[in-house]
Amino acid sequence: PATAIIVVAAGSGTRLGADAPKALVGIDEHSVLRHALDQVFQAAPAQVIVVAPAGHEGDAESELRAAAGDRVELGRVVTGGATRQQSVAAGLRALWGDVETVLVHDAARPLTPAAQIDAVAQAVTDDRGVLPALPVVNTLKRVSGSAVVEAVDRSELVAAQTPQGFPRALLEKAYALALDSGAEYTDDAALYAAAGHPVVHIPGSPVAFKITVPADLERARRLLSPERG
Ligand code: CTP
Ligand code: MG
């Protein structure tokens, strides 16, 4: 396929505080990673690179095989790095063949619908990066110490999700630049924009939230439970 999806799953999940890496924690009978991969393999056929925590490559391989079905030859597991940026870089090095579009997806967003993955892939052009995002609903204030300085105009803000999609050649160059400069970026879109390329946003989905703290895991459990409590 001309598209590859790098699923970064190498984080430890410090804020979740479980006794396993976050991607391998169970939501129901299936792990966070398995749920993420189920949606990835329901999207249009793509090469899938799972970036696993060091020492857990075998577990990631099992989850990949279970989710991939007859697309198993499209999948590959590599070992992640100390930061998310290094894990994505490891994923980029593992691409093979003539991939033209690369999506980078957080395993920690396990309920991200396949349709969101497809929409991002379709919106990528020769030079344009794409991220799914939601409007910001909270009332935000800029503060200075204890003083409230001003209200922040919500209409200028969105909350970014994944997958984020990019033309492969420009993303690889942007990662090489970041490596040279030693800069660490908050997400792939920021790294890509720092190399001078445009990024657009498309509508995200409420269910594509990231599992960060225990309450997020509970939310995912509720959404997946038969009673939808
Ligand atoms: N990630 C990764 N390699 C790292 C750090 C993060 O592949 N060295 C991945 C995580 O597995 C996750 C995504 O990047 O899918 C988003 O990161 P985050 O939610 O911060 O996960 P963790 O870093 O694992 O969590 P925490 O920051 O609480 O430790
Ligand atoms: Mg982290």
Q: Of all protein residues, whose CA lies closest to atom 6 belonging to ligand 1?
A: 11
Q: Which ligand 1 atom is the nearest neighbour of the CA of 14?
A: 29
- Those residues whose C-beta lies under 8 Å from the C-beta of residue 148, and which sit 6 or more positions away, are 141, 142
- With a Cβ cut-off of 6 Å, ligand 1 is lined by 8-15, 22-23, 51, 80-84, 87, 106-108, 210, 212
Per-residue pLDDT tens digits of the chain, which is 229 residues long: 899 999 999 999 999 999 999 999 999 999 999 999 999 999 999 999 999 999 999 999 999 999 999 999 999 999 999 999 999 999 999 999 999 999 999 999 999 999 999 999 999 999 999 999 999 999 999 999 999 999 999 999 999 999 999 999 999 999 999 999 999 998 999 999 999 999 999 999 999 999 999 999 999 999 999 775 5
Separation of first and last alpha carbons in the chain: 39
Residue 161: helix, strand or coil by DSSP? coil
User: Per-domain residue ranges for the chain?
Assistant: 3-224
Other CB atoms within 10 A of residue 151 CB: 10
Report DSSP state, residue 195: T
**CATH of region 3-224, choose from 3.30.1330.10, 3.30.2310.20, 3.40.50.360, 3.90.550.10:** 3.90.550.10
Q: What is the pTM of this model?
A: 0.97
